């Protein structure tokens, strides 16, 4: 391969890498925004009709809407639930949506869990953190909603509407949604069928 072509290819790859890096930095930059008052609204469904989606059976268990601040988001590509739920949101409301509180916490997502830590003393009581923040496994109803979910930036306000669902797969796969804001640990995340999303830009 001529040297000039080889050098040109290296330059293209380098510029592409820089472009992706700048895009990632912009996307992950924290957006300063006002706090969000109010808790998620959940109403049990006494009866519901299961439906099929991407080879899984989804059974709605509650209508669910939430307006909160996006603390963190994490995309998944290779775990067992990634085909159905490609992204998780860690969301906070009330005191867990106040920037001065959030900046005192180390927030991370990994392996479908949302974790937080602090130095010395928690900025608010730990139980209040539990009750005003959550990790949600998001199942977008269509490609446009998935695109919107992946475009949101940390610190922005997001409003999601849809249903909490329990999931079953033909291979014995079981994935149930939490029904409570007070639980922690394994099984404490909501599994949400997202029918609409609204992102407040600042």
Q: Tens of pLDDT along 41-50?
A: 999 998 899 9
Choice among 23-37, 48-62, 160-174, 183-197 with the minimum mean pLDDT: 23-37
Report the distance separating Cα 121 and Cα 142, nearest Å: 43
Instruction: Supply the pLDDT for residue 56.
Output: 96
Q: How buried is residue 54: exposed, middle or buried, by Cβ count under 10 Å (0-12/13-18/19+)? A: exposed
Kindly state the average pLDDT of the residues 96-117.
Answer: 96
Kindly state the average pLDDT of the residues 48-59.
Answer: 96
Give yes or no for a contact between 50 and 133, defined as CB atoms under 8 angstroms apart: no
Instruction: Supply the pLDDT for residue 187.
Output: 87
Q: Is the pLDDT of residue 95 over 60?
A: yes
Q: Sketch the domain layout of the chain as residue ranges.
A: 1-30, 41-200
Instruction: Supply the pLDDT for residue 183.
Output: 86
Instruction: Supply the pLDDT for residue 130.
Output: 94
Fold of 41-200: OB fold (Dihydrolipoamide Acetyltransferase, E2P) (2.40.50)
Instruction: Supply the pLDDT for residue 170.
Output: 87
What is the sign of the dihedral through the CA atoms of 133, 139, 141 and 147? Answer: positive
Instruction: Supply the pLDDT for residue 20.
Output: 38
Give yes or no for a contact between 73 and 127, defined as CB atoms under 8 angstroms apart: no
Choice among 4-13, 120-129, 140-149 with the minimum mean pLDDT: 4-13
Q: Is the pLDDT of residue 18 over 50?
A: no
Between these two residues, 50 and 9, which has the higher pLDDT value? Answer: 50
Percent of the chain with pLDDT over 70: 86
């Amino acid at each position: 391969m001529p040297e000039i072509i080889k050098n040109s290819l290296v330059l293209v790859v380098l510029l592409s890498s820089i472009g992706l890096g700048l895009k990632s930095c912009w996307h992950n930059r924290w957006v300063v925004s006002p706090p969000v008052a109010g808790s998620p609204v959940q109403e049990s469904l006494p009866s519901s009709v299961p439906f099929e989606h991407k080879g899984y059976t989804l059974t709605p268990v509650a209508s669910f809407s939430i307006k909160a601040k996006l603390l963190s988001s994490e995309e998944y590509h290779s775990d067992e639930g990634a085909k159905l739920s490609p992204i998780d949101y860690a969301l906070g409301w009330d005191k867990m949506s106040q920037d001065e509180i959030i900046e005192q916490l180390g927030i991370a997502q990994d392996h479908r869990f949302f974790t937080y830590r602090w130095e010395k003393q928690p900025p608010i009581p730990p139980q209040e953190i539990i009750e005003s923040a959550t990790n949600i496994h998001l199942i977008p109803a269509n490609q446009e909603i998935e695109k919107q979910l992946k475009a949101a930036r940390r610190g922005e306000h997001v409003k999601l509407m849809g249903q909490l669902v329990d999931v079953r797969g033909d291979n014995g796969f079981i994935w149930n949604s939490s029904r409570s804001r007070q639980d922690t640990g394994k099984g404490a995340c909501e599994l949400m069928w997202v029918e609409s999303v609204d992102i407040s830009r600042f």
